[in-house]
């Protein structure tokens, strides 16, 4: 009925309050988590609209990325199987559009009011074009660079992953203690202050402990803590006696693991004394140095850390300091390259056994045990990821002050709950550079030309980006994929190549504040008033949006951030099909209407996990009926009452009726303040108690005689009706943001001339 447009029209000139919608993935039917999130947003928007603001709501959808690709791969296989890249992208676009329509219908049925005919879609060519322009500005501001660094790599996606795309799961890995033999024992003796003769003829080794034996082919060093105390201890093993270098605090634990009695300690020294000592690689014909790193701890292991700069962020950082090679022998599908000793063509998981056997054969394996630990996995495939150094495009956190600016501006934002501020602060403080590139098909391309030999950006990059953005706005991202470089580069085309990577999907949503301001300039203008999402978005959308806004404008994109907990069952268990505890909102709405579920959301403190079960729903239904029946009684008692004619002036009201109106006015102030503080569970409690205690338990009981026995037009009866009318007028407004369908129904039965609901 055009209600949204009518509200916008009558709200012109009011102060603006904008909630910017975090886009859900256009993938699958709306679930209870969607319902919770959308209804909370709806309550925020409607309550501010009632509070005198112009509060538009532009819903959005995340349309690119792996979740959609995954669905198309299930149907058609990978690109090149049944579909070429262009056909694959077309299938992704079609699927995403269908999912948007499916979810939009559900969100409307939830009672969420918004501009559903003009949502923002990250696959809208205008959005994509503005994202390309934003990339240009990020480059102009000095934040983008290309580098070969270890990144999370999913073997199923065959692509890099962002930190927000990684989940941790318990996994059992092979933990091995491996001996790196000292090349020159005389050098070791000199460094630790003992005579060479004291070593006798026994070999000496530093022992590392690792849960990723497959990374040993890429080993380039062994790291020690510079201030950690180490010992040289004599041990007996099956194949003879030897000296081992172990952390002093871990020596007894290590020797117990090896089944060796503690022998003579020849010397105690710090890690710094062994810097640059040369070691033999345990199975490759090369020497590797001892290096120093503050990342070495005594939490587990031996106090010596195997260092493979191609397979770990800390390894890479310390390796850069020592100019270590970054040798990545693992291909994108998880197999070792041809020519890799012992494991050429072998998958990384299978390589563990091959290499453990080789270590044992060479006498370099001190112990091999299963080890259970928390391990990073792909959020989509649920399979373990690896760290793998590949050439990628990164947003630098530090070269132009991005991290410092973000940390500064976090304090300027109001966080609900307050602990969210420290949480995102810690995440930004410790995070690595953002790997922006993905080796995928369905995404906004990184629209750059790089020199074939030097990989340097084309000198006309900004001009080229502007031209590509113009084309993308007309034709969508296919404009880039179809582009012949010579069209834009002319003679330079022979020396430059197009980048084939696409942007991390978190860049799509992270730039939504920028792109939606372009597609919907009248409704969304950053910084917006509030972002509202689940508490996982401190590492997701809140995080990516903050970094992108800082990279563009050196400011946060939001003034307030509100987070809610996740839906669980009455025992606090996560809802899953395997546990049989999934609640489908569509089924509840079909049986009881949306307002019972909306009331549950308001009644529950969203700062914590939000429990729902059949029993909780039953209690909510009872609470809903109590409120509904209270208003029904009010409306029934107002039969034949015309407020324009029959309302009694305040000074002529019966005293108890004046009290009822005053109590309602007082409660209205409290409820308005609670809406402003986003304390919806407080509002529920106040309205519920008002219905049960103030009205049902006291005031309405007192009115019965006057309403039922006094003449219809008597002042005493009209006084009661006047009070009930004002109470109903207030209650319909209190309830409207939460029980929207019920409030609409109440409004239609209210006496007196009415505007549209």
Q: What DSSP element (H or E) covers 453?
A: none
- Give the closest residue to 119 by CA, choosing from 37, 49, 22: 22
- Residue 117's contacts (CB-CB under 8 Å, 6 or more residues apart) are none
**What is the CA angle 244-247-251, rounded to 5?**
70
Cβ atoms within 10 Å, residue 60: 26
**pLDDT surpasses 70 at 496:** yes
φ, ψ for residue 578, nearest 5 deg: -65, -30
Question: Pairing relation of β-strands 434-435 and 386-395?
Answer: antiparallel
Q: How far is CA 411 from the centre of its chain?
A: 20
**pLDDT surpasses 80 at 756:** no
pLDDT, average across residues 385-406: 92
- Residue 59's contacts (CB-CB under 8 Å, 6 or more residues apart) are 21, 104, 107, 112, 114, 115, 116, 119, 120
List Cα–Cα distances, 270 to 129, 192, 249, 254, 273, in angstroms.
57, 9, 12, 18, 6
List Cα–Cα distances, 140 to 131, 133, 143, 513, in angstroms.
14, 10, 8, 19
d(CA 521, CA 19): 14
Please tell me the predicted confidence (pLDDT) of residue 505.
92
- Give the closest residue to 387 by CA, choosing from 229, 163, 543: 163
Q: What DSSP element (H or E) covers 121?
A: strand 120-121
d(CA 443, CA 65): 6
SS3 492: helix
Question: HSE-up of 15 (CA within 13 Å, CB side)?
Answer: 7
d(CA 679, CA 606): 9
Of the segments 323-327, 467-471, 583-587, which one has the largest average pLDDT value?
A: 467-471
Q: Given pLDDT bands bounded at 50, 70 and 90, which one contains residue 240?
A: low
- Give the closest residue to 398 by CA, choosing from 421, 428, 425: 428
Please tell me the predicted confidence (pLDDT) of residue 378.
86
Range from 511-515, 517-521, 610-614 carrying the lowest mean pLDDT: 610-614
Please tell me the predicted confidence (pLDDT) of residue 389.
86
Range from 51-55, 116-120, 208-212 carrying the lowest mean pLDDT: 208-212
Question: Pairing relation of β-strands 528-534 and 558-564?
Answer: parallel
**What is the CA angle 583-585-590, rounded to 5?**
120
**pLDDT surpasses 70 at 747:** yes
**What is the CA angle 477-480-486, rounded to 5?**
165
Residue 417: asked if its preceding bond is cis (omega within 30°), the reply is yes
- Residue 377's contacts (CB-CB under 8 Å, 6 or more residues apart) are 166, 167, 168, 169, 171, 383, 384, 385
Please tell me the predicted confidence (pLDDT) of residue 193.
83
d(CA 747, CA 757): 6
**What is the CA angle 333-339-344, rounded to 5?**
45
**pLDDT surpasses 90 at 59:** yes
pLDDT, average across residues 546-555: 97
User: With pLDDT > 90 as the criterion, what percentage of the chain qualifies?
Assistant: 64
Please tell me the predicted confidence (pLDDT) of residue 472.
97
pLDDT, average across residues 143-163: 85
Please tell me the predicted confidence (pLDDT) of residue 99.
95
d(CA 316, CA 326): 8
Asked if residue 519 lies in contact with residue 526, where contact means CB atoms within 8 angstroms, the answer is no
pLDDT, average across residues 144-155: 87
Q: Which domains, and CATH codes, for the chain? A: 3-137+506-564 (3.40.50.620), 164-378 (3.90.740.10), 447-500 (no CATH), 600-749 (1.10.730.20)
- In sequence order, what DSSP letters do the residues of 712-755 get, joined into one string? TT-HHHHHHHHHHHHHHHHHHHHHTTTSHHHHHHHHHH-SS---
Asked if residue 191 lies in contact with residue 269, where contact means CB atoms within 8 angstroms, the answer is yes
Average pLDDT score over the chain: 91
pLDDT, average across residues 565-574: 86
- Give the closest residue to 601 by CA, choosing from 738, 439, 420: 738
Q: Given pLDDT bands bounded at 50, 70 and 90, which one contains residue 125?
A: very high
d(CA 602, CA 594): 13
Cβ atoms within 10 Å, residue 333: 10
* pLDDT tens by residue, 603-650: 999 999 999 988 999 999 999 999 999 999 999 999 989 999 999 999
* pLDDT tens by residue, 366-392: 888 888 888 888 877 888 888 888 888
Range from 195-204, 223-232, 259-268 carrying the lowest mean pLDDT: 259-268
Q: How far is CA 261 from the centre of its chain?
A: 49
**pLDDT surpasses 70 at 238:** no
Please tell me the predicted confidence (pLDDT) of residue 278.
93
**pLDDT surpasses 70 at 721:** yes
**pLDDT surpasses 90 at 88:** yes
pLDDT, average across residues 72-76: 91
List Cα–Cα distances, 338 to 33, 80, 281, 345, 347, in angstroms.
47, 24, 20, 6, 12
Of the segments 131-140, 569-578, 747-756, which one has the largest average pLDDT value?
A: 131-140
d(CA 198, CA 175): 32
- Distance between terminal CA atoms of the chain? 11
Q: Given pLDDT bands bounded at 50, 70 and 90, which one contains residue 591?
A: confident
């Amino acid at each position: 009925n055009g209600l949204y447009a009518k509200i916008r029209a009558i709200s012109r000139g009011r102060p603006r309050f904008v909630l910017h919608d975090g886009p859900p993935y256009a993938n699958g039917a709306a679930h209870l988590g969607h319902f919770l999130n959308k209804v909370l947003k709806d309550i925020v928007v409607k309550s501010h609209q009632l509070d005198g603001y112009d509060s538009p709501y532009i819903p959005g959808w995340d349309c690119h990325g792996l979740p959609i690709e995954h669905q198309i791969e299930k149907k058609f296989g990978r690109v090149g199987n049944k579909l070429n890249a262009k056909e694959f992208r077309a299938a992704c676009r079609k699927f995403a559009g269908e999912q948007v329509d499916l979810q939009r219908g559900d969100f409307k049925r939830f009672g969420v009011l918004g501009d559903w005919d003009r949502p923002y879609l990250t696959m809208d060519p205008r959005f994509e074009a503005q994202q390309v322009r934003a990339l240009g500005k990020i480059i102009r501001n000095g934040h983008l660079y290309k580098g070969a660094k270890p990144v999370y790599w999913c073997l199923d996606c065959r692509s890099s992953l962002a930190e927000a795309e990684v989940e941790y799961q318990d996994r059992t890995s092979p933990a091995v203690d491996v001996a790196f033999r000292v090349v020159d024992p005389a050098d070791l003796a000199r460094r630790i202050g003992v005579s060479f003769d004291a070593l006798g003829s026994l070999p000496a080794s530093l022992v590392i402990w690792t849960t990723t034996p497959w990374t040993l082919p890429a080993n380039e060093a062994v790291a020690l803590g510079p201030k950690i105390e180490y010992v040289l201890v004599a041990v007996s093993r099956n194949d003879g006696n030897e000296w081992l270098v172990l952390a002093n605090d871990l020596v007894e634990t290590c020797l117990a693991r090896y089944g060796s009695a503690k022998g003579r300690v020849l010397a105690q020294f710090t890690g710094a004394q062994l810097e640059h000592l040369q070691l033999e690689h345990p199975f490759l014909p090369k020497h590797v140095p001892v290096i120093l790193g503050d990342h070495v701890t005594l939490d587990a292991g031996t106090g010596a850390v195997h260092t493979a700069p191609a397979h770990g962020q800390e390894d890479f950082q310390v390796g850069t300091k020592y100019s270590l090679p970054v040798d990545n022998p693992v291909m994108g599908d998880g197999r070792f390259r041809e020519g890799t000793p012992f494991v050429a063509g072998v998958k990384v998981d299978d390589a563990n056994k091959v290499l453990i056997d080789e270590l044992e054969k060479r006498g370099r394996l001190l112990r091999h045990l299963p080890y259970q630990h928390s391990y990073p996995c792909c959020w989509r495939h649920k399979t373990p990821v690896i760290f793998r150094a590949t050439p990628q495009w990164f947003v630098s956190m530090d070269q132009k002050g991005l991290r410092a600016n973000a940390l500064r501006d976090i304090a300027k934002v109001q966080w609900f709950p307050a602990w969210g501020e420290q949480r995102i602060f810690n995440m930004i403080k410790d995070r690595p550079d953002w790997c922006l590139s993905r080796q995928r098909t369905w995404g906004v391309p990184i629209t750059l030309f790089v020199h074939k030999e030097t990989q340097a950006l084309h000198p006309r990059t900004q001009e080229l980006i502007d031209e590509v953005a113009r084309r993308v706005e007309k034709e969508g991202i296919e404009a880039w994929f179809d582009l012949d470089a010579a069209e834009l580069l002319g003679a330079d085309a022979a020396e430059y190549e197009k980048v084939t990577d696409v942007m991390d999907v978190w860049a799509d949503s992270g730039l939504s504040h920028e792109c939606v301001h372009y597609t919907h300039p009248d409704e969304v203008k950053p910084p917006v008033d509030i972002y509202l999402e689940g508490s996982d978005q401190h590492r997701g959308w809140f995080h990516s949006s903050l970094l992108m806004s800082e990279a563009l404008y050196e400011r946060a994109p939001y003034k307030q951030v509100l987070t809610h907990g996740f839906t669980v069952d009455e025992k606090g268990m996560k809802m899953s099909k395997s546990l049989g505890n999934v609640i489908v909102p569509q089924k509840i709405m079909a049986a009881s209407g949306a307002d019972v579920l909306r009331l549950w959301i308001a009644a529950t403190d969203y700062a914590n996990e939000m429990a729902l079960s059949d029993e909780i729903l039953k209690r909510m239904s009872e609470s809903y009926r109590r409120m509904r029946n209270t208003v029904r009684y009010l409306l029934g008692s107002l039969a034949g009452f015309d407020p324009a004619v029959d309302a009694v002036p305040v000074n002529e009201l019966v005293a108890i009726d004046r009290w009822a109106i005053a109590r309602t006015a007082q409660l209205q102030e409290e409820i308005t303040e609670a809406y402003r503080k986003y304390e919806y569970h407080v509002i529920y409690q106040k309205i519920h108690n008002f219905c049960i205690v103030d009205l049902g338990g006291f005031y309405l009981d007192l009115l019965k005689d006057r309403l039922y026995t006094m003449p219809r037009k008597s002042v005493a009866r009209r006084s009661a009706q006047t009070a009930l009318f004002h109470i109903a007028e207030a209650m319909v407004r209190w309830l409207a943001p939460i029980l929207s369908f019920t409030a609409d129904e109440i409004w239609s039965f209210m006496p007196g001339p009415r505007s549209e609901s």
